[in-house]
Amino acid sequence: MTQATQATIESILQEKRLFAPPPEFSQQAYVGSFSEYQQLYDKAKANPEQFWGELAEQELHWFQKWNKVLDWQPPFAQWFVGGKINISYNCLDRHLTTWRKNKAALIWEGEPGDSRTLTYAQLHREVCQFANAMKQLGIKKGDRVGIYMPMIPEAAIAMLACARIGAPHSVVFGGFSAEALKDRLVDAQAKLVITADGGYRKDNIIPLKEQVDRALADNGAPTVENVLVVRRSQQQIHMEPGRDHWWHDLKQEVSADCPAEPMDSEDVLFILYTSGSTGKPKGVVHTTGGYNLYTHMTTKWIFDIKDTDVYWCTADIGWITGHSYIIYGPLSNGATSLMYEGVPRPSNPGCFWDIVEKYGVNIFYTAPTAIRTFIKMGEHLPKARDLSSLRLLGTVGEPINPEAWMWYYRVIGGERCPITDTWWQTETGGHMIASFPGAIPMKPGSATLPFPGVVADVVDLDGNPVKGEEGGYLVIKHPWPGMLRTVYNNPDRYRSTYWEHIPPKNEQYVYFSGDGARKDKDGYFWIMGRVDDVINVSGHRLGTMEIESALVSHPAVAEAAVVGKPDEVMGESIVAFVTLESKYSPSEGLINELRQHVSKEIGPIARPGEIRFTDALPKTRSGKIMRRLLRSIASGQEVAGDTSTLEDRSVLDKLRGGA
C-alpha cells in the first residue's frame, strides 16, 4: 500500500469521537433506531432474495412480475429475472395519478441566475416529447445514445427519455475533451449524440457543440448518425445539414404522448465510463430493474427523503452520483430534486449557501473536496445565510478527513444535522456503506456500516479476513441489485478486474472494490482510498495510465509516469514525471504546453498540477515503473521501503536532487 494510505490509517486510528443521531431526527425517520437498522440488516442477510423481492413489490411499479429474484452464475448476476419494468415510468408516470402530479420534480438554478421549476406533470410531458424526437431521428430500443450536456433540465430530460424508449444512455461529463468524448462514443457505438450549444462553467461558456463537431470530424465516431442540440448559451455554432437538429425545432413537431416501453429487468439502462488502473476507461453497464430498486431504497433510507423535502445533490450528471442521486433515486421516490448548473467560483463563492437559503434546502449532499474548499473560503460565507432549513447532510467521493467532517457538522449543519458519509462507486450503482441518519451513531471519517443486503469485509490478497483492526482490501461478498452487470463489450475485463483479483475459492466469488479499508471493533468501516493506480482528484477518478498515454502522445515526450500527491483541497493532485525526446529540452513553455495537451486529450480535470522533467524513471528490473518511489518523491517524503528491485539506483538520487 502507498505511503499516503499508511498516513491515512494512522490519522484515522486516533479518531474516537462518536455522535448519536439527534433524537428529533430519529423520531421522524423511516429507520429511527439502531435496532431497526439491525433488524433490516439481519433480515437481508438471512434471506436476501426475500428481502429484495418484498421491497421490489412494495416500492416499484412492474408491468410484469419477475419469476426469480436472483440468478447468480458467478460472476454474472441477473436480478428480477423475467420482470418487466420501466424506470422512467417509476420516476414519472406513477406519480401523475397522485397529488404529486403538480409537485416540483426538478428545481433548476442556472449559473447566470436564471431558474426553472418543472412539476412531475411538466417533466413527464417534456420527457415524452424528447423521446418522440429521438424516435423521429431513428432511435429504437437498444440503440446507444451519447449525452454531452451542461447541467440543465434537458440533461435529465434526455436521460429519462432514453430510459423511456429503452435506448441505453452514455453520459459523458461536459468537462471532458473532444478526444475523450470520441473514445467513449466509439466504444459505446453511439447512434445519436445529445448536446447543447454551450454550457456555463465558472463564468465561461464551454463550447460543447464545437467539441462534438471535433469528436465527429473525419468520421471520428462513424456510428453517430445524428446530433440533437439544445439551445442554452445562445452563441453561434455550426449546424451540419442532415446531421444536426435543434431540439426546439423538433419539439414543435412531436406529440407529448409516448408510453413507456416495458423493459426486461436486465435490459441495459446505461453505460458509464470510469477510470481503471490500466488501459482505457471501462464502460460500466447498469441494467434496469435492480438499479431502479437499489437507487430507490438507498435514497429513501440513507437520505430519509420525505415528500416535504427539498433535496440537493451538487454532483454533475456526468458522474454516477448525478445519475443515481439527482435523477433516478430521488424521482423514483417522488421527491423534489434540485439541480444547479454552477459551482462555487471566485465571482460567487457563496452561491451554494444562497441556493440553500433561496429554496429552503433540507437535504444537502456534496463532496469532501467541496467542503475543504468552503473551509478555505471561510465561515463568514455560510454564516451570512440562513441555513436553518437543513436537516441532513451527506458526503461522497473520497474519504472525508475528521476535521473537515467536524467543520461540516458545526458550520453547515449547526450541530443539529446528522451527516451520512456514503461509500460507493460507479460500479456499485448506489450507496454500499453509509450511515442510516436516524439510526447509526456517527464517527467522523467513517462511512459506518453496510446497507442491508451488502456483505462487506476487509481481506488480504488471498481473500482471508484480516486480523483485528488491520488494514486490507475492501470487498463485497454477495451480489446486490445495483451492481454493475459487466464491462461493455468486455466480459473478460469485468471478470478479471472485479471478481478474480481476489482468487475465488470453491466458487465463492468476491467483488474487489479497489479501495483499502479497515474495520474497527464496532464493525465500522474506515475507507483508506484507492490501492490501484487511480488518482482521486476532487472526487473524480482518473487513471494514471490515461494521463500517461496523453502525455506520451505529445511529440516531445519519451516516457511519463503519473502519481498522486496529497492535496489539502483536492484530496490528491497530479504530478507527472516526464522524460523528453532528445531533440527537446526542459522549459517553462514546454510545461505549459504539456499541461494544455493533457487538457485537450482528456479534459481540464486531468491537467497535471506539476510536471517534473527527469533523465530517467525509476524502474524495476522487469521494467515496471516504481510509482511508490515517485509518490514519495512527489510529496517530498524520504523514500522508505524496499528499493532493492530498482534497476539503477542513480536515477533515484538524481530525482531526489530535484532533477
Nine-digit cell string for 630: 515517485
Q: Annotation-wise, does 204 bind a ligand?
A: yes
Q: Annotation-wise, does 536 bind a ligand?
A: no
**Contact assessment for residue 271 and residue 168, using Cβ atoms and an 8 Å cutoff:** yes
Residues numbered 264-283 forming contacts with ligand 6R9, rule: CB under 6 A: 274
Determine the size of the site formed for ligand 6R9 (CB under 6 A).
24
Spatial separation of the C-alpha atoms in residues 478 and 70, rounded to whole Å? 11
391 closest CA partner among 362, 361, 415: 362
In three-state secondary structure terms, 295 is: helix
In three-state secondary structure terms, 522 is: coil
* Residue from the set 422, 448, 486, 544 that interacts with ligand 6R9 by CB under 6 A: 422
404 binds ligand 6R9 (CB under 6 A): no
Q: Dihedral through CA 406, CA 410, CA 415, CA 417, nearest 10?
A: -80
Q: Annotation-wise, does 526 bind a ligand?
A: no
Spatial separation of the C-alpha atoms in residues 473 and 460, rounded to whole Å? 6
Smaller CB separation from ligand 6R9, 137 or 404: 404
Nine-digit cell string for 27: 423520531
End-to-end CA distance of the chain: give it in Å, rounded.
Answer: 26
Choose the stretch contacting ligand 6R9; rule: CB under 6 A; options: 150-158, 192-200, 422-430, 492-500.
422-430
Smallest gap from Cβ 281 to ligand 6R9, in A, equals 11
Residues numbered 446-485 forming contacts with ligand 6R9, rule: CB under 6 A: 447
Choose the stretch contacting ligand 6R9; rule: CB under 6 A; options: 147-155, 222-230, 392-400, 574-582.
392-400
Q: Dihedral through CA 79, CA 157, CA 603, CA 219, nearest 10?
A: 90
421 binds ligand 6R9 (CB under 6 A): yes
Smallest gap from Cβ 421 to ligand 6R9, in A, equals 5
Q: Annotation-wise, does 508 bind a ligand?
A: no
Contacts of 536 (CB under 8 A, 6+ apart): 397, 398, 529, 530, 542, 564, 571, 572
426 binds ligand 6R9 (CB under 6 A): yes
Choose the stretch contacting ligand 6R9; rule: CB under 6 A; options: 55-63, 167-175, 200-208, 527-535.
527-535
514 binds ligand 6R9 (CB under 6 A): yes
**Contact assessment for residue 329 and residue 434, using Cβ atoms and an 8 Å cutoff:** no
Choose the stretch contacting ligand 6R9; rule: CB under 6 A; options: 31-39, 56-64, 157-165, 528-536.
528-536
* Residue from the set 146, 153, 322, 397 that interacts with ligand 6R9 by CB under 6 A: 397
* Residue from the set 3, 86, 265, 321 that interacts with ligand 6R9 by CB under 6 A: 321
**Using alpha carbons only, what angle is made at residue 350 by residues 347 and 351, rounded to the nearest 5 degrees?**
80
**Using alpha carbons only, what angle is made at residue 364 by residues 564 and 427, rounded to the nearest 5 degrees?**
50
Smaller CB separation from ligand 6R9, 396 or 575: 396
Smallest gap from Cβ 329 to ligand 6R9, in A, equals 12
* Residue from the set 51, 130, 423, 524 that interacts with ligand 6R9 by CB under 6 A: 423
314 binds ligand 6R9 (CB under 6 A): no
CA distances, 285 to each of 180, 314, 491, 528 (Å): 18, 24, 10, 26
32 phi and psi angles, rounded to 5 deg: -105, 5
Smallest gap from Cβ 541 to ligand 6R9, in A, equals 5
* Residue from the set 266, 398, 533, 548 that interacts with ligand 6R9 by CB under 6 A: 398
Q: Annotation-wise, does 552 bind a ligand?
A: yes
**Contact assessment for residue 532 and residue 512, using Cβ atoms and an 8 Å cutoff:** no
Q: Annotation-wise, does 453 bind a ligand?
A: no
Binding-site members are 201-204, 321, 397-399, 421-426, 515, 530, 538, 541, 552, 554, 557
Site residues, ligand 6R9 (CB under 6 A): 274, 319-321, 396-399, 421-426, 447, 513-515, 527, 529-530, 536, 539, 541
